[in-house]
Structure 1
Amino acid sequence: MDKKVTVYTFNTCPFCIKAKNLLDNEGIEFDEIDITTDRGKLKELESKTGSSTVPQIFAGDKFIGGCDDLMELHKSGEFDQVLR
């Protein structure tokens, strides 16, 4: 069973779109939380993850990182292990 994947995004962010496209192409269902107008949520995520950029991607409670981190998981072959 796939882990619950959550992606925090801004609606015009090209890295968010790239990450969501990879997840879609791999058949990974995810919940998208658009925080474009909620800078408070971004500050909350920043204090939790140490990252102030989007996307911020979680598999269950584990913070995966951003788009580059997701792409690296895919390239390294660890994608399925971490996200499924």
Structure 2
Amino acid sequence: MKKNVTVYSKDGCYYCVMAKNYLDKHGIDYEVVNVSKAPEAMQEMVTATGQKGVPQLKIGDKWVVGFNARQIWKSLEE
């Protein structure tokens, strides 16, 4: 089952680049939301997870906070 994937990131975020590179490597399509330029997206992310740090990935209806390859893959498979 294909899931919608959104990467919430900021410019200059090394771990955000790692998360996007991981998704690219595995051929996973995703949307990028730069929370520095979209305060409403930042608020959505904080409301959902209680965390301000990036990257955060929304995979289907699940959230992965930080770059965690194992958790990303698990969320994609669920």
Same fold by TM-score greater than 0.5: yes
How far apart, in 1, do the equivalents of 2:37 and 2:57 lie?
18
Shift of 1:7: 0.6
- Total equivalences in the alignment: 77
Aligned structure 1 segments of 4 or more residues deviating by more than 6 angstroms: none
| Structure 1, unpaired ranges of 5+ | none
How far apart, in 2, do the equivalents of 1:42 and 1:49 lie?
11
TM-score (norm 1): 0.76
Shift of 1:6: 0.7
The aligned amino acid for 1:61 is D
| Structure 2, unpaired ranges of 5+ | none
TM-score (norm 2): 0.81
Structure with the greater alpha carbon radius of gyration: 1
How far apart, in 2, do the equivalents of 1:28 and 1:41 lie?
21
- How large is the Cα RMSD of the aligned pairs? 1.9
Shift of 1:62: 0.9
* Secondary structure of residue in 1 paired with 2:37: coil
- Give aligned-pair identity as a percent: 34
Instruction: Please list, as runs of the form range in 1=range in 2, the aligned pairs for 1:6-25 lying within 5 A after superposition.
Output: 6-25=6-25
Q: Which has the higher helix share?
A: 1
